[in-house]
Amino acid sequence: MNSSYLSSIQDTQLPSTAVRFVDTAVSSFQRIPGSSIVIRYIKSSHQNDPVRTAVELFLFIFAVRYLLAQSYSTNRNKTIPLTEDEIDDLVEDWTPEPLASEETEFERQSNERLPVIVGPSGPKTKLSNGKTVTNLASYNHYNFATNPELTQKAINTVRTYGVGPCSPPGFYGTQDVHMKSEADIAAHLGVPACIIYAQSFSTISSVIPAFSKRGDIIVADKAVNYPIRKGLQISRSTVRWYEHNDMEDLERVLQKVVKEGRGKSLTRRFIVTEGLFENVGDMADLPKLVEFKTKYKFRIILDETWSYGVLGLSGRGLTEHQNVDAMNIDFIIGGLAGALSSGGGFCAASQEIVEHQRLSAAAYTYSAALPALLATTASETVTMLQEQPQIIESLRENIKGMRAQLDPRSDWVRCQSCVEAPVVLLVLKDEHVQARNLSIEEQESLLQDCVEEALANGVLITRLKAMPPALGATPRDLIKEWKPKPALKVCVTTGLNKREIEKAGIVIRHAITTVMKSKKWQRQALVA
């Protein structure tokens, strides 16, 4: 822009005011550093391509408008306003999903016929119909439930401490009897420390997620119980499964995990199994697990809910039974509600592992502490197991007597559990299942008939009622592969003498034979 440009403006005979405004604007623009370059670019661009000048002018105006415009939200409210009547209609039409699946006809009938116990649950139990039966359906293996000394100590504890602490342990729920129980259990197992939980179910399902998180790896037996599966699911860890009690398959999985982890960031790795399997009744190979733990750098989480108090010379569980140093097991989880006739659970381990749980285990941090009377009972029963080893031997003799009446003498069932297990699991022999083409549901129905037939003859037993796998842990398809076999559960107790045990075993065997030869199941065999 020069004098020729200004003269051209004057030649257009614009009003003097406009001329002065343009003159002032041009002079001001020329004082901006680099303005001459912009003017030359516009002249050159306009001469070569006038359309381009128009496009650039449009973009310039758009940019200025965009920068100067007020901010606005892209999330427009797309909701449709409803009247009160329309809202009421929608609420009436809405049907929520059920919290639990509906009972099947078989479940409904079974629940309606469940016997109701009146009074203490001892070896001889009175039912609501007035009939007294032999009770082989409770985990009262040492008859602690009706022990007068334990009963009196529990009464004295209630008078001193009340019925419950009414607070989590981390606040003011911890009492001296809790600390004594922890010390007694730790000393019994031969480990540095122990922590007790208020619920047996929540113990293992809280310990696992307290240490294993997303990205960590857990290798678990396919037959582990439902609380363990819930713990695996809650932890959100990567879960790898191995065939039940198959040590060769376990080593294969461990080798694969180690190979896949090379060159990657370090993760926590655990082997999770049961000492005495709830749904199968057999034992884990603990010496082999310890060997693999050392070889492949894993930690062992051992659930001894059903083995603590019944295995070993003094009831210390699988470690004592298989002569394994308890210090070689990183986590020993146990239940106090089974053989010890108390309540709650425990985790015995090193001091560091125990103290970590006091702030990180959900069931310990957010649940009221174990009632003092149950803590006292646990301490007393642990002491009795150590001071009276003859009661453990008496239990094993009764187990032998019960099995002698069932497994070798019955043509229809076999004992699936190991010889030391006080819970005898009876499953139908494979040849009868195959010959009659019995489904899982039909086997459960047949075994329920056996339970009712035994009850009619004065012996109370029950069935194995396993929860379905906890879906959500990976891989899901592997979880669905393994399901426990339907089984009868016979809980042996020292509250009965040898003759009473043998008599009860004969009643159970005859009840099974009666049901298998009944017209109902004979027709099933003919149809198959």
Query: What's the pLDDT score for residue 447?
Result: 95
What tens digit of pLDDT does each residue of 59-84 get? Answer: 878 888 888 887 766 666 667 788 89
What tens digit of pLDDT does each residue of 382-392 get? Answer: 999 999 999 99
The total of structural domains in the chain comes to: 3
Using alpha carbons only, what angle is made at residue 333 by residues 331 and 338, rounded to the nearest 5 degrees? Answer: 165
Residue range of the domain that includes 44: 3-67
Identify whether residues 381 and 409 lie together within a single domain: no
Query: What's the pLDDT score for residue 18?
Result: 60
Identify whether residues 196 and 314 lie together within a single domain: yes
Does some domain include residue 37? Answer: yes
Residue after which a domain boundary falls, among 387, 409, 429: 387
Distance between CA atoms of 489 and 226, rounded to whole angstroms?
17
Does some domain include residue 88? Answer: no
Q: Which residues in the chain come in under a pLDDT of 50?
A: 1, 5-6, 9-10, 12, 14, 471-474, 477
Does some domain include residue 215? Answer: yes
The DSSP element (H or E) to which 238 belongs, if any, is: strand 238-242
The backbone torsions φ and ψ at residue 357, rounded to the nearest 5 degrees and listed phi first, read -70, -25
Identify whether residues 447 and 513 lie together within a single domain: yes
Q: How many CB atoms are located within 10 Å of the residue 211 CB?
A: 20
Note whether 308 and 139 are within 8 A (CB).
Answer: no
Query: What's the pLDDT score for residue 498?
Result: 94
Identify whether residues 216 and 363 lie together within a single domain: yes
Query: What's the pLDDT score for residue 525?
Result: 59
Does some domain include residue 290? Answer: yes
Identify whether residues 304 and 425 lie together within a single domain: no
Note whether 274 and 284 are within 8 A (CB).
Answer: yes
Distance between CA atoms of 312 and 334, rounded to whole angstroms?
14
In 3D, which of 290, 284, 283 has the Cα closest to residue 421? 283
Q: What is the DSSP letter of 344?
A: -
Identify whether residues 158 and 46 lie together within a single domain: no
**What does the block give as tokens for 230?**
């819930």
Does some domain include residue 280? Answer: yes
Identify whether residues 470 and 504 lie together within a single domain: yes
Cβ-count burial 311-327 (b if 16+ within 10 Å, e if not):
bbeebbbbbbbbebebe
Does some domain include residue 142? Answer: no
C-alpha 6 chain-centroid distance: 88
Does some domain include residue 340? Answer: yes
Query: What's the pLDDT score for residue 141?
Result: 96
238-242 and 217-221 strand pairing: parallel
Residue after which a domain boundary falls, among 387, 409, 426: 387
Query: What's the pLDDT score for residue 20?
Result: 72
Query: What's the pLDDT score for residue 77?
Result: 65
Does some domain include residue 73? Answer: no
- Which CATH number characterizes residue 455's domain? 3.90.1150.10
Q: How many CB atoms are located within 10 Å of the residue 274 CB?
A: 28
Q: Which residue has the tokens 């106090």?
A: 336
- Which CATH number characterizes residue 258's domain? 3.40.640.10
Q: Which residue has the tokens 């957010």?
A: 366
Identify whether residues 284 and 163 lie together within a single domain: yes
Instruction: Collect all residues with Cβ–Cβ distance below 8 Å to 124 and sequence separation of at least 6.
Output: 132, 133, 134, 135, 495
Whole-model pTM over 0.75:
yes
Query: What's the pLDDT score for residue 9?
Result: 46
What tens digit of pLDDT does each residue of 264-316 get? Answer: 888 999 999 999 999 999 999 999 999 999 999 999 999 999 999 999 999 99
The backbone torsions φ and ψ at residue 18, rounded to the nearest 5 degrees and listed phi first, read -65, -40
Identify whether residues 455 and 307 lie together within a single domain: no
Query: What's the pLDDT score for residue 1?
Result: 47
Identify whether residues 250 and 340 lie together within a single domain: yes
The DSSP element (H or E) to which 117 belongs, if any, is: strand 117-118
Identify whether residues 167 and 229 lie together within a single domain: yes
Query: What's the pLDDT score for residue 97?
Result: 82
Query: What's the pLDDT score for residue 472?
Result: 45
Instruction: Collect all residues with Cβ–Cβ distance below 8 Å to 51 and sequence separation of at least 6.
Output: none
Identify whether residues 376 and 395 lie together within a single domain: no
Using DSSP, state whether 333 is helix, strand or coil: strand
